[in-house]
């Protein structure tokens, strides 16, 4: 590997890591702050991708589709919380797993009934469809760079929301002591609903952004779910900052794993997880 391709691989790792962060951030919020193990998180990613497909075929513009899709996903998340997840807070993890696993099956079947089982493509917006030449025979699609920029902006935005706003303060307080926050006059139900809807919207946004490069296909949420849980566990449950660091680590492990030890490529990410958990059983940044 020469130096140029080494640099390009670093770019690949960063870009993959940032997209992983976008998916995992919603999961870590819901898991860490609300204490819900949400196996349906991958389904929200899939729903986002299918929303991008449906809305961009309807409007002819992916960016418009995303602008429309985010409030739809947020509203859908709030509705789900009101109808289903609200009943889970006081129940144990097994019941959460049962409900959210059931949701995976329902969403997959609904997708099959409404859109079918074919693979669909989503066009990259005209504005970002160019590529930048990186070496004599390799170029990099601008759209991938745009995704990375959006992810960085969202990471900064989430950090600001959690650490610097009143809402973030209430969310953090609510995750420590629900009753205390409630008795201080905060509408904790509304707060939890917001957090959950935010988690759903983040997953859906990740699906919408990834749709043009990943295509839209049955079962696409499953793979994402597993790797997202890896990121959340490595980063420390509930920590947005941890999810970012962990996602980047996973991006690097996966990319350089495939280049440096191709026979063990599938293993690199899980080796990383094992090492991190031996070193810090609660993840790199424990919730605090």
Partner 1 sequence: MVGKDRKLRLAVSALGLGLGMLLAQGAAEAADKVKVGLMLPYTGTYASLGNAITNGFKQYVAEQGGKLGGREVEYFVVDDESDAAKATENANKLVKRDNVDVLVGTVHSGVALAMAKVARDSKTLLIIPNAGADELTGPLCAANVFRTSFSAWQPAHAMGKVVAERGHKNVVTLSWKYSFGEQSVAGFKEAFEQAGGKVVKELYLPFPNVEFQPFLTEIANLKPDAVFVFFSGAGAAKFVKDYEASGLKANLPLYAPGFLTDGTLDAMGGAGEGLLTTLHYADGLDNAKEKAFRSGYVAAYKIQPDVFAVQGYDSAQLLAAGLSKAPAGAFDKEAVMNAMSAATIDSPRGAFTLSKANNPVQDIYLRKAEGSQNKVIGVAAAKLADPARGCKLMK
Task: Give least dist CB 156 to partner 1, A.
Answer: 24
The packing angle between helices 240-260 and 268-279, to 10°, is 130
If one asks whether residue 281 binds partner 1 (CB under 8 A), the answer comes out as: no
The owner of tokens 């009143």 is: 166
CA distances from 94 to 57, 88, 163, 166, 271 (A): 39, 10, 32, 33, 27
Paired with 251 in beta bridges are none
Nearer to partner 1, 127 or 156 (CB): 127
Helices (H) and strands (E) in the chain, counts: 11, 2
123 counts as binding partner 1 under rule CB under 8 A: yes
CB closer to partner 1, 182 vs 214 = 214
Restricted to residues 162-221, the positions that interact with partner 1 (CB under 8 A) are 213-220
Nearer to partner 1, 237 or 272 (CB): 272
Contact (Cβ atoms closer than 8 angstroms) between residue 38 and residue 27 = yes
**Residues with Cβ within 8 Å of residue 114, at least 6 apart in sequence:** none
Q: Which of 35, 61, 141, 145 binds partner 1 (CB under 8 A)?
A: 141
Assess 138 for contact with partner 1 (CB under 8 A).
yes
* String marking each residue 243-272 x if it binds partner 1 according to CB under 8 A: -----------xxx-xx--xx-xx------
Query: Which residues in the 92-121 window bind partner 1 by CB under 8 A?
Result: 112, 116-121
Sign of CA dihedral 263, 265, 269, 270: negative
Q: Give the angle subtended at the CA of 96 by the CAs of 90 and 99, to the nearest 5°.
A: 125
CB nearer to partner 1: pick between 159 and 217 = 217
Number of residues that bind partner 1 (CB under 8 A): 46
Q: Which residues of this chain interact with partner 1, rule CB under 8 A?
A: 1-2, 5, 8-9, 12-13, 15-16, 112, 116-123, 131, 133, 135, 137-141, 143-144, 213-220, 223, 254-256, 258-259, 262-263, 265-266
């Amino acid at each position: 590997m020469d130096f140029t391709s080494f640099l390009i691989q670093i770019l690949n790792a960063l870009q993959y890591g940032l997209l992983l962060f976008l998916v995992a951030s919603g999961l870590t919020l819901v898991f860490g702050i609300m204490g819900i193990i949400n196996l349906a998180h991958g389904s929200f990613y899939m729903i986002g991708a299918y929303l991008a497909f449906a809305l961009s075929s309807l409007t002819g513009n992916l960016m418009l589709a995303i602008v429309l899709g985010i409030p739809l996903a947020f509203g859908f998340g709030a509705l789900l919380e009101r109808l289903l997840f609200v009943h889970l807070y006081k129940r144990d993890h097994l019941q959460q797993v049962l409900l959210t696993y059931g949701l995976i099956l329902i969403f997959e079947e609904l997708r099959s009934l409404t859109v079918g089982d074919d693979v669909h493509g989503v066009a990259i917006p005209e504005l970002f469809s160019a590529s930048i030449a990186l070496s004599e025979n390799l170029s990099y699609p601008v759209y991938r760079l745009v995704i990375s920029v959006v992810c960085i902006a969202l990471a900064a935005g989430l950090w600001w929301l959690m650490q610097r706003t009143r809402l973030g303060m209430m969310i953090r307080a609510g995750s420590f002591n629900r009753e205390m926050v409630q008795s201080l006059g905060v509408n904790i139900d509304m707060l939890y609903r917001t957090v959950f809807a935010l988690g759903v919207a983040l997953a859906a946004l990740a699906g919408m952004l990834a749709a043009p490069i990943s295509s839209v296909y049955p079962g696409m949420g499953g793979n994402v779910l597993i790797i997202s849980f890896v990121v959340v566990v490595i980063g420390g449950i509930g920590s947005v900052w941890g999810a970012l660091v962990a996602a980047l680590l996973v991006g690097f492990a996966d990319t350089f794993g495939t280049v440096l030890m191709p026979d063990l490529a599938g293993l690199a990410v899980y080796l990383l997880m094992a090492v991190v958990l031996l070193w810090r059983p609660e993840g790199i940044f424990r919730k605090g």
